[in-house]
Amino acid sequence: MRIIYAGSPAIAVPALELLFPPGDGVLELAGVLTNPDRPRGRSGRPEPSDVGEAAEKFSSAFPALSPVPVFKFEKTGAEAREAVAVLKPDILVSFAYGRIFGPKFLSLFPMGGINIHPSLLPKYRGASPIPQAILNRDSETGISVQKLALRMDSGDILLRTRIPLDGRETTESLSRIVAEKAALLLPPLLRRIAAGKPQSLPQDEGEASYCSLIEKDSGRIDWKRSAVEIDAMIRAYTPWPLSWTMEGERKLIILKGVPDDAGNVRPENASAEPGKVLGVDKKRGILIQTGEGILVVSGLQYQARKALDFQAFLNGERHFLSAKLE
């Protein structure tokens, strides 16, 4: 079964890696689709996506075999269809590719296509299911492998696995877990498809829900919200777009925080406004009043400055203990 693998970010790399070396008698990686090179880092130089970089590295690790072609099309239009058709693929595997495939492109694959989605579909259709589960403080999430359909994340479910959450995950840490688990699920499923034994169930459209759109400024903290909500936000927006607030004219990124459970409320702060810095718990962090409860902040960073733990931060910013954040 000849496979075209479509993906771009780091979460999709482990699953690609398990499809190398190309050709095991059943599964053969025929090509890779990924986003075009984009400017990354401070240099601003165009660099390949994580999947693009990994595909080139994996190919060079097997010099006796022909390199796996890596395509970086802006659109899956006529040029992309022509290039992929030459490879005579059987199936398309998509994981965080970032584009919707049209009917003409999908028609190139006699066995259709499948998509790995990091949620328990039909819950959290869309591009940000991992941060959405953290924002909503869910007790579990999961991975669904669905048949590719023309409507976003609406295909029949081929496989679903659950992942319990302990309430301290970040999008970064949970993405690593999803990446590792998805990689192990993919080859056995592809072998079942190759053997003609796939079983699938339609999604319940009445249960469908969708992710919120995350933008660069989505991380602005509203201190009127509860400490529990702000904690979830900090974790959901790590590593991007990060959660931030303003201290005067300076943008301050809150990297780590946790709702206070140590009884740090003092009589003199009982009526403090949300966003008021109340003081410091010397073992745990800086105490900030929210709309409900206190947030204990242990990691923070002024924009364009070094990330610091709270002790190092306060060593250089003593005035901060009387600040009001907006």
CATH number at residue 82: 3.40.50.170
Alpha carbon distance 35, 99 (integer Å): 9
Q: Does residue 287 lie in a domain region?
A: yes
Q: Does residue 212 lie in a domain region?
A: no
Burial call 92-106: b when 16+ CB within 10 Å, e when fewer: bbbbbbebebeeebe
Q: Does residue 51 lie in a domain region?
A: yes
Q: Residue 134 phi/psi, 5° resolution? A: -75, -45
What is the structure's pLDDT at 235?
A: 98
Look up the domain containing 293 and give its range: 227-322
Tokens of 106: 């999908």
Taking the CA atoms of residue 210, residue 91, residue 110 and residue 120 in that order, the dihedral angle to the nearest 10 degrees is -30
Q: Does residue 216 lie in a domain region?
A: no
What is the structure's pLDDT at 264?
A: 60
Identify whether residues 45 and 162 lie together within a single domain.
yes
> 271 or 46, which is more confident?
46
Q: Does residue 42 lie in a domain region?
A: yes
- For residue 108, give the DSSP letter: T
Bridge partners of 145?
116, 159
Number of domains in the chain: 2
What is the structure's pLDDT at 268?
A: 56
CATH number of the structural domain spanning residue 237: 3.10.25.10
Q: Does residue 68 lie in a domain region?
A: yes
Average pLDDT of every residue of the chain:
93
Identify whether residues 111 and 81 lie together within a single domain.
yes
- pTM here? 0.92
CB contact set of 89 (below 8 Å; sequence gap of 6+) = 2, 3, 4, 30, 31, 108, 109
Identify whether residues 72 and 141 lie together within a single domain.
yes
Dmax over CA atoms of the chain, in Å, equals 74
Identify whether residues 31 and 163 lie together within a single domain.
yes
